[in-house]
Amino acid sequence: MARILVVDDEEGVRSFLAEALEFEGHSVTTAADGDEAARLLAKQGVDLLLTDLRMPGLDGLSLLRKVKEEQPDVEVVVLTAVGTVESAVAAMKAGAFDYLLKPVGSPAELRLTVARALERRALLNWKTEARQSTGEVELSWGAAAMVPVVEALRKVAPTQATVLLVGESGTGKEVTARALHQWSERADGPFVAVNCAALTETLLESELFGHEKGAFTGAVAQRRGRIELAQGGTFFLDEVGELKAELQAKLLRVLQERRFERVGGTRTLEADVRWVAATNRDLKGMMARGEFREDLYHRLAVFPIRLPSLRERREDLRPLAELLLRRIGEELGRPGLRLSSEALARLEAFTWPGNVRELRNALERAAILADGPVVEPRHLWLDPTGAPGPVDAPAPEGGRLPSLTLEELERRAIEQAIADEAGNRKRAAQRLGIGLRTLYDKLRRYEAP
């Protein structure tokens, strides 16, 4: 969820945009002209400014320049009428992220542009954060099964070798990639991740390589891709098994030659990045079926590391659970949260098909349900699919529910689903088995005084 300021002198346009963005779960403020927008910006923080260009008083372009000068990390998307694309170009030169043609007919286009602008902002913020953080990643890796893994990681981290992390979902592939970065000589450089499954082919290509002005419709300005943003640092290719054939070929070339061109460009740029890739798929099997290029596999798997599942490292369960619960306690402002020995026994008996991520989610849920500092078995709602014996339904101790009203219970379930889905309300609604509309209605009701 982001904070978005919508500026347009037409009431109809304002409310259309505000509604569409609120539906996505953003918190939206509106202003009728540039002056009002400038006043609002001075008072409240925003992540994204969506502004019309032609307005009475302070116009959109002047507003954009002012924002870029005073709050450069606010992303700006401008709205421009058909036939006045020159003004859009001027806006892009002044630092706008993108532009949308008016009238904005499709909410999908709006959604995509806004999502990309916010993603870019998150990426840039992350880069500065990554640069500033010097601390080690706090990981719990004590189990015997982890010893050879950690030893391999320590040895390969300072080299330039491409590392392929393989492991079931939730085994810690991403945190491991970050650890590799922090233990390398590139730790002061950026860590840039791209999820190969989340972007479409065309988007992925321009995200990775960037594009030149005019490379395709909509490319009104040159844009640097993520490989360029990652110069001097580590590039993490997450879910690399999802790459389509055409991109596999393009990626292979960068890995082989350490060079690339922006989409639509002729100049060859050097890729000074250390590659780390991750997958939960069986790349060798995919290779045998012709779904994954053999040459690419060998480029990626210079140094393959398999992360064991939580089932294979049972001794880690206790220290991991304690570490995670401590962190959750800090996040919730409830330090001192701990597990009763019965609760721990219950966790130890569980099979954890979703590995560390599932453990973390279970603990977070339990922490929310437990009113006091101690997590008891009745607070642990474990998914029956991972139960050790006969179906282990979330039956509370003694058949009694914790003393909650139905409404409180519902509210907690909703908060949990939203947290599990990292704020994505559409997926949270799916997880809860209700419609998005219903979810919004319920949220609104909670917010009502």
Ligand X SMILES: Nc1ncnc2c1ncn2[C@@H]1O[C@H](COP(=O)(O)OP(=O)(O)OP(=O)(O)O)[C@@H](O)[C@H]1O
Q: Which residues are at the interface with ligand X (CB under 6 A)?
A: 139-141, 167, 169-175, 280, 320, 323, 356-357, 360
The 3-state DSSP class for residue 235 equals strand
Q: Smallest gap, in angstroms, from Cβ of residue 27 to ligand X?
A: 25
Please say which residue, 89 or 175, places its beta carbon nearer to ligand X.
175
**Beta strands per DSSP E along 26-119:** 27-31, 48-52, 75-81, 98-102
**Beta strands per DSSP E along 3-150:** 3-7, 27-31, 48-52, 75-81, 98-102
Q: Smallest gap, in angstroms, from Cβ of residue 355 to Mg ion?
A: 11
Please say which residue, 123 or 150, places its beta carbon nearer to ligand X.
150
Report, in this order, helix, strand and coil percent for the chain, each rounded to 5: 50, 15, 35
Measure the CA–CA gap between 409 and 423, rounded to whole angstroms. 19
The first and second tokens of residue 283, run together, are 């790349």
The 3-state DSSP class for residue 157 equals coil
Number of residues assigned to the chain: 449
Please say which residue, 167 or 377, places its beta carbon nearer to ligand X.
167
Residues at the interface with Mg ion (CB under 5 A): 174
Q: Using CB distances below 5 to 8 A depending on partner kind, what does residue 169 bind out of ligand X, Mg ion, none?
A: ligand X
Q: Smallest gap, in angstroms, from Cβ of residue 348 to ligand X?
A: 17
Beta bridge partners of 98: 77
Q: Using CB distances below 5 to 8 A depending on partner kind, what does residue 280 bind out of ligand X, Mg ion, none?
A: ligand X
Please say which residue, 49 or 237, places its beta carbon nearer to ligand X.
237
Q: Smallest gap, in angstroms, from Cβ of residue 239 to Mg ion?
A: 7
Please say which residue, 145 or 220, places its beta carbon nearer to ligand X.
145
Please say which residue, 174 or 410, places its beta carbon nearer to Mg ion.
174
DSSP state of 263: B
Residue 107: CA count within 13 A, CB half-sphere:
10
Q: Smallest gap, in angstroms, from Cβ of residue 98 to ligand X?
A: 28
Measure the CA–CA gap between 399 and 107, rounded to whole angstroms. 48
Long-range contacts: 77-82, Cβ < 8 Å, 24+?
77/48, 77/49, 77/50, 77/51, 77/113, 77/114, 77/117, 78/50, 78/51, 78/52, 78/53, 79/8, 79/13, 79/50, 79/51, 79/52, 79/53, 79/104, 80/52, 80/53, 81/54
Q: Smallest gap, in angstroms, from Cβ of residue 238 to Mg ion?
A: 5
- Using alpha carbons, select from 409, 431, 411 the residue that is nearest to residue 420: 431
Q: Smallest gap, in angstroms, from Cβ of residue 183 to ligand X?
A: 14
Number of residue whose CB is nearest ligand X: 172
Please say which residue, 174 or 242, places its beta carbon nearer to Mg ion.
174
Q: Smallest gap, in angstroms, from Cβ of residue 323 to ligand X?
A: 6
Please say which residue, 81 or 139, places its beta carbon nearer to ligand X.
139
**Beta strands per DSSP E along 352-442:** 374-375
